[in-house]
Chain A
Amino acid sequence: MKNLFYLFPYLWIFSSILFFSCSEEPIPYDLSDAPLHVDSLILYNKVSGFTYQVPPEMGNLDKLYLGNDGGFINEFILLQISSSSYGTSLSSLLADTVTIDSAFLELIFSNDSIPNPEPPPFQLSFFTKNDSIFHENDSHNGNFSLEILNSVIINTSSLTEAEPDSTEEITPTLIFDVTDSMRVIADTLNSHTFLISLVDEYNGLIAFNSRESNAKPKLSVYYRKFIPSEGEDKDTLILGNTFYAVKDVSIIIPPDTTLDYVSNLYVGRALGLKSILSINLDTLQFLPAQTIFRTKSYLNLPYDITLIADKITIKAFPLADTVDSAGYVFFSEGDPYSEHSDYDYLLETSWNTNDGFITINIQTLLQYVHFGELNNLGIKLYSSLDNDPFKTIHFSNFNNEINPLENPFISIQYVIP
């Protein structure tokens, strides 16, 4: 009995586990007074902005351009190939035991057929300097000059289109035979950089697939390698290797523009047009600290639907630094305004052709500004890499208060505890 006296509390605890039972059926109740209430807010005349211009940003596009079109002069293409491939370096092809049989630089045309009229021949040059010739993100017509760089013409070629064996699709290709120049190309004293241009002017746009596409520019080399053996005879290996492009960019000259930079905002990659939006979010301070903003919180930007028929994707990021300008400026040295690269701050944009507004989802901006995690320094708009870089979108009705309902406005939905 004495032992039982001390034992039974423990038995009791564990027996309750065995017999523990519960059922949880929700009880219906009017929960109007319970926490979490949804509400909405529309803010007019809170958005202002300006457009600024930088040199064309043609790097990282999935196409490389030549020819004159829409006022743009696409001067030449710069292309750097990898110095190694599958463990074989270009310089290893200089060895005495290697005999190069053939080598070709190949670019795939982006259209299915050769344009009409047929473009003039293409010219391939090669830079014979060891230094880096260009930067994919930063090189443009303003800072790249052929005059101070040594380049030698290697060959010329034209678009070719092979006869299909069956129903396969054959894409026109630009192939330069570089067999005779392979020892120069493989030399470690140069940067493996090519320049491709048209021999004569051509009125039309010619586009090749860039390294960002699935059909990258490539240098194909076919060679024999002799392996010494113990006897008099030598073993010979017939090999081929492909060296893909690691950097490429189109150098273009944009046309002079006469745009209304006062009441319109513009975004276009080839023109180097970007815009900064300033949003007055002082109203947020009147919301409870633990407000959560819904995804249906938008910045609605009116655009000229008569000028843009196709869908364009706009990139929008909160600015990381203060903007000290409030009007159109051309920055010849490149974009001075850095943006937050944090994925949490990415603002999604959508294209709504029905009511003439492009909407930017500003849920993340509102939320993190409200938290104090993010400074409301403005939003930078620029054209996505997926767009036709030569198209420009016009955002209209900025900076005037004549008809607020047609101006940019902010629609916010939120939930408060």
Chain B
Amino acid sequence: MKLIHLKTLLFQFSMLYRNTILTYCFFIFSGIQGQTILNGFGIGYIQPRIDAASIGISSTGLLPAFQSGVSLNNPVTWHDLHFAYISTMYGGNQVNQSEDDIINGHSALTQFQFILPIKKKYIFGIGISPYASQYYNLTGIDTLANAKTLEGSGGINSLHVSFGQSSGRKENFALAFDFLFGSSRMETILTLDQTDYIYNQRNLFSGILAKLYVESSRIHFYQTPVHTYFAIQGSVKPLSVRSFSYQPVVRYGFNQVFPNPNKTPDPVQSHVTNVILPFEFQLGFDIELKEKVHILGEGTYWKDGTNKQTNFSILRHKVVSTERISFGIIRFAKNYSRSIMDFVHFRSGIFALRSVFDSRKNVDERGVSFGIGIKFGVTNNQIDFGYSIIQRSGFNVDGEIIQKFRIGLSLGDIWFIKRRER
């Protein structure tokens, strides 16, 4: 009996179930951020693309935490990779609101990425990950003491494509595009006299962001090279949202609604462009203190350049700028050692983040993080674990404790090697 190659089987499987897989990926990516009130503002909680290695040093992915000189989310660092990598992250978080004694948790697939260094000269990468989450479930009363609940789900995802070319000098450059897409659904239920009034909205997002990465090894600090990293991001096609506002209905009993759906007008559509005009600037450094021991630091400034009100959002207000700073320390694994501990990367870091709302009020986050990475196999495969604990307080948020984790699995393979024909 002829044995079918496993790769062929998988290819056929992926073709057969590609729609199912894509749909599944869409949903699992869109809700990684466990529900918090912050998900209800603006386009939702914008989350940096943090891999399991980066979370260990509280980095947003700019700094090389995966391996020495390499960050999975900074394409300018991929020139030094010896292997092509396919990498996925699984993660989640738990939000503990101490005031109301409420604990919410969520976990899902958070990132999928393929990295291809070509003869140490060119790099190409493609991946998918969540960009903003609108996952929340709020309950409360309005000014007339009527009970209301708000539920949101979905969010914005990013298909990111990266290119780069080694300059052969002390600076390297890479360019990454984030193709933003996704949808969110919002349901508001107002309960009056034990009757539910239900209002549904749906938003479809699209936009393109571009990010330029620069790496420089020109600076030295007392003979020690200081690797510096810059990144600047802006909009190529500003994020736009097509909103669908459905006719509110009254629900009687189990499934009886008024008005008759057959006599209900089509949803009201609106198209808002320039929903956000993000501008981001990042600066980071990486210093090798001694062999395999690095200290790293990173600063990020993000600003929304539009003054538009988020009328597609279910809650008023939105974040207009953020400032983030983090520091970390890593002891990278050694390449050749018999000690099992030398196969492990150890990481730790701290960060502080301030999010400024259009109401000029802030939400502050402070966190510490830890992580390890374990190398295995001849192609430098690696499994990473990262954990972070964060305290968040400020505008509409009171004493949230957030615990985040990421598990990453990255497998390497050799591409573009000429093989002798048999």
A417: Cβ under 8 A from any B Cβ? yes
- Report the separation of the CA atoms of residues A37 and B265 in the bound assembly, to the nearest whole angstrom: 20
Q: Residues of B contacting A364 with CB < 8 Å? A: 258-259
A306: Cβ under 8 A from any B Cβ? no
A86: Cβ under 8 A from any B Cβ? no
- Report the separation of the CA atoms of residues A226 and B149 in the bound assembly, to the nearest whole angstrom: 78
Selected interface stretch from B206-214, B231-239, B247-255, B364-372: B247-255
B263 touches A371 (CB 8 A): yes
- Report the separation of the CA atoms of residues A373 and B140 in the bound assembly, to the nearest whole angstrom: 35
B314: Cβ under 8 A from any A Cβ? yes
Interface of A is mostly: mixed
B192 touches A415 (CB 8 A): yes
Selected interface stretch from A28-36, A249-257, A329-337: A28-36
B190: Cβ under 8 A from any A Cβ? yes
Complex A-B: 11 CB contacts under 8 Å = A6-B7, A9-B88, A12-B409, A21-B107, A22-B105, A26-B102, A32-B141, A38-B146, A290-B268, A372-B265, A415-B190
Query: What is the 8 Å Cβ interface bit string for chain A, positions 326-370, against chain B (1 contact, 0 not)?
Result: 000000000000000000100000000000000000011001100
- The 7 A-B residue pairs with the shortest CB-CB distance, nearest first, are A26-B139, A36-B190, A31-B140, A31-B148, A22-B106, A29-B138, A292-B248
Q: Residues of A contacting B24 with CB < 8 Å? A: 13
B12: Cβ under 8 A from any A Cβ? no
B139 touches A35 (CB 8 A): no
A8 touches B409 (CB 8 A): yes
Residue of B nearest to A417 (CB): B199
A286: Cβ under 8 A from any B Cβ? no
A31 touches B150 (CB 8 A): yes
B90: Cβ under 8 A from any A Cβ? yes
Query: What is the 8 Å Cβ interface bit string for chain A, positions 1-42, against chain B (1 contact, 0 not)?
Result: 111111111101101100111111111111111111110000
Taking each of A1, A36, A372, which has the highest tally of chain B beta carbons within 10 Å of its own beta carbon? Answer: A36
Taking each of A25, A32, A34, A367, which has the highest tally of chain B beta carbons within 10 Å of its own beta carbon? Answer: A34
Taking each of A28, A29, A289, which has the highest tally of chain B beta carbons within 10 Å of its own beta carbon? Answer: A29
- Residues of A near any B CB (own CB < 8 A): 1-10, 12-13, 15-16, 19-38, 289-290, 292, 294-295, 344, 363-364, 367-368, 371-373, 415, 417
Q: Residues of B contacting A25 with CB < 8 Å? A: 102-104, 137
B281: Cβ under 8 A from any A Cβ? no
B260: Cβ under 8 A from any A Cβ? yes
B28: Cβ under 8 A from any A Cβ? yes
B248 touches A415 (CB 8 A): yes
Q: Given A28-B140, A290-B248, A344-B263, check contact A34 B314 (CB 8 Å).
A: yes
Q: Residues of B contacting A19 with CB < 8 Å? A: 90, 107
CB contact list, B184-212 vs A, under 8 A: 188-190, 192, 195, 197, 199, 201
Q: Given A10-B10, A24-B35, A28-B100, check contact A38 B144 (CB 8 Å).
A: yes
B132: Cβ under 8 A from any A Cβ? no
B137 touches A26 (CB 8 A): yes
Partner of B37, one of A8, A27, A373: A27
Q: Residues of A contacting B189 with CB < 8 Å? A: 36
Q: Residues of B contacting A4 with CB < 8 Å? A: 411
Residue of B nearest to A19 (CB): B107
- Report the separation of the CA atoms of residues A155 and B31 in the bound assembly, to the nearest whole angstrom: 86
Q: Residues of B contacting A26 with CB < 8 Å? A: 102, 137-139, 149
- Report the separation of the CA atoms of residues A290 and B268 in the bound assembly, to the nearest whole angstrom: 8
Partner of A8, one of B97, B141, B411: B411
Q: Given A12-B90, A292-B197, check contact A27 B35 (CB 8 Å).
A: yes
Partner of A27, one of B107, B137, B148, B259: B137
B292: Cβ under 8 A from any A Cβ? no
- Report the separation of the CA atoms of residues A24 and B36 in the bound assembly, to the nearest whole angstrom: 10
- Report the separation of the CA atoms of residues A124 and B250 in the bound assembly, to the nearest whole angstrom: 56
- Report the separation of the CA atoms of residues A24 and B35 in the bound assembly, to the nearest whole angstrom: 8
A36 touches B138 (CB 8 A): no
B179: Cβ under 8 A from any A Cβ? no
B108 touches A20 (CB 8 A): yes
Q: Residues of B contacting A30 with CB < 8 Å? A: 140-141
Q: Residues of A contacting B90 with CB < 8 Å? A: 12, 15-16, 19
B109 touches A367 (CB 8 A): no
A290 touches B247 (CB 8 A): yes
B389: Cβ under 8 A from any A Cβ? no
Q: Given A26-B149, A28-B140, check contact A373 B35 (CB 8 Å).
A: no
Q: Residues of A contacting B260 with CB < 8 Å? A: 344
- Report the separation of the CA atoms of residues A104 and B317 in the bound assembly, to the nearest whole angstrom: 84
Query: What is the 8 Å Cβ interface bit string for chain B, positions 113-149, against chain A (1 contact, 0 not)?
Result: 0000000000000000000000011111111101011
Residue of B nearest to A294 (CB): B192
Q: Given A290-B247, A417-B199, check contact A23 B139 (CB 8 Å).
A: no
Residue of A nearest to B14 (CB): A10
B269: Cβ under 8 A from any A Cβ? no
- Report the separation of the CA atoms of residues A376 and B359 in the bound assembly, to the nearest whole angstrom: 45
- Report the separation of the CA atoms of residues A32 and B316 in the bound assembly, to the nearest whole angstrom: 10
**6 extra interface residue pairs, beta carbon distance < 8 Å, beyond A13-B21, A21-B106, A415-B192:** A10-B10, A22-B106, A24-B137, A27-B102, A34-B148, A368-B263
B268 touches A289 (CB 8 A): yes
A37 touches B142 (CB 8 A): yes
B377 touches A1 (CB 8 A): yes
Q: Given A26-B138, A292-B247, check contact A5 B413 (CB 8 Å).
A: yes
Q: Residues of A contacting B144 with CB < 8 Å? A: 38
Q: Residues of B contacting A35 with CB < 8 Å? A: 188, 199, 201, 314
Q: Given A24-B137, A27-B36, A371-B263, check contact A32 B142 (CB 8 Å).
A: yes
Q: For residue B312, give the distance in angstroms from its CB to the closest CB of chain A.
A: 11
- Report the separation of the CA atoms of residues A368 and B260 in the bound assembly, to the nearest whole angstrom: 10
A27 touches B411 (CB 8 A): no
Q: Residues of A contacting B192 with CB < 8 Å? A: 38, 294, 415
Q: For residue A41, give the distance in angstroms from its CB to the closest CB of chain B.
A: 15
Residue of A nearest to B112 (CB): A9
Residue of A nearest to B28 (CB): A16
B86: Cβ under 8 A from any A Cβ? yes
B36 touches A22 (CB 8 A): no
- Report the separation of the CA atoms of residues A209 and B188 in the bound assembly, to the nearest whole angstrom: 53
- Report the separation of the CA atoms of residues A295 and B250 in the bound assembly, to the nearest whole angstrom: 10
Q: For residue A361, give the distance in angstroms from its CB to the closest CB of chain B.
A: 12
Q: Residues of B contacting A1 with CB < 8 Å? A: 377, 379
Q: Residues of B contacting A6 with CB < 8 Å? A: 6-7, 10
A16 touches B268 (CB 8 A): no
A2 touches B413 (CB 8 A): yes
A34 touches B36 (CB 8 A): no
Q: Given A27-B136, A31-B150, check contact A13 B109 (CB 8 Å).
A: yes
B34: Cβ under 8 A from any A Cβ? yes
Q: Residues of B contacting A344 with CB < 8 Å? A: 259-260, 263
Q: For residue A297, give the distance in angstroms from its CB to the closest CB of chain B.
A: 12
Q: For residue B396, give the distance in angstroms from its CB to the closest CB of chain A.
A: 7
Q: Residues of A contacting B105 with CB < 8 Å? A: 21-23
Partner of B86, one of A9, A21, A372: A9
B289: Cβ under 8 A from any A Cβ? no
Residue of B nearest to A372 (CB): B265
Q: Residues of A contacting B150 with CB < 8 Å? A: 29, 31, 34
B341: Cβ under 8 A from any A Cβ? no
Query: What is the 8 Å Cβ interface bit string for chain B, positions 305-324, against chain A (1 contact, 0 not)?
Result: 00000000011100000000
Q: Given A7-B6, A31-B142, A34-B315, check contact A417 B263 (CB 8 Å).
A: no
